[in-house]
Amino acid sequence: MIENILIKASGDVIDREEVLGFAKEKAKDNYTVLVCGAGTKIGEALKSQGYETSFDNHGRVTESFEERKIARDVLDIEQRRLQDILIGTGVEVESPLIKLGSVLCPINGDTYVKAGYLGFDEIYVFTLKDREKAKIKIFSDFEKVKIIGL
């Protein structure tokens, strides 16, 4: 039976073979979606354009359309780059962006995972080892989510 597999990887670990190999292996027998994070790169891009980054309980606060466009552009680049790397493997690559009406909403990758929770049979979140405990807390009420610290 084909299962729906969701893998979210922090931008800080997305290029590691443990993540890419895991996604490719899961995609051999399952429908597999890889959500690419890019928080560090978004922060750097915003800073280079003179924006200060702040966070609230939901993630990075983007106060202007220009900030949202910067986040979108970084995520689009990451998504396309990973699609090129994973072409032919069966892994679908998504970035955590939604559009509600005509409003562009870059959302926290963990929130994106939670939004898709009911549609997936297995969910994995790859992060840096030092963020593992925080991720376990974030997903404490989401039994299917497995946190993998690298």
125: closest CA among 26, 37, 15, 30? 37
Mean predicted lDDT score pLDDT of the chain: 93
At 59-69, the pLDDT tens digits run: 787 878 898 88
Q: In this predicted structure, what is the pLDDT of residue 42?
A: 92
Q: Which domain holds residue 41?
A: 4-149
CATH number at residue 110: 3.40.1160.10
Q: What is the pLDDT of residues 45-93, one digit of tens each?
A: 999 999 988 888 777 878 788 988 899 999 999 999 999 999 999 999 9
Helices 65-85, 39-48: axis angle to 10 degrees equals: 130
What is the tally of structural domains in the chain? 1
139 and 108 in contact (C-beta within 8 Å)? no
Per-residue buried b or exposed e for 112-143, using 16+ beta carbons within 10 Å of the residue's own CB = bbbeeeeebeebbbbbeeebbeebeebbeeee
> How far is residue 62's CA from residue 52's CA, in Å, rounded to a whole number?
10
Q: Output 129 or 63, whichever has higher pLDDT.
A: 129
pTM: 0.91
| C-alpha span between 30 and 26 (Å, rounded) | 6
Backbone angles phi, psi at 4, to 5 degrees: -95, 120
The predicted model gives 106-135 an average pLDDT of 94
How far apart, in whole angstroms, are the C-alpha atoms of residue 140 and residue 40?
Answer: 24
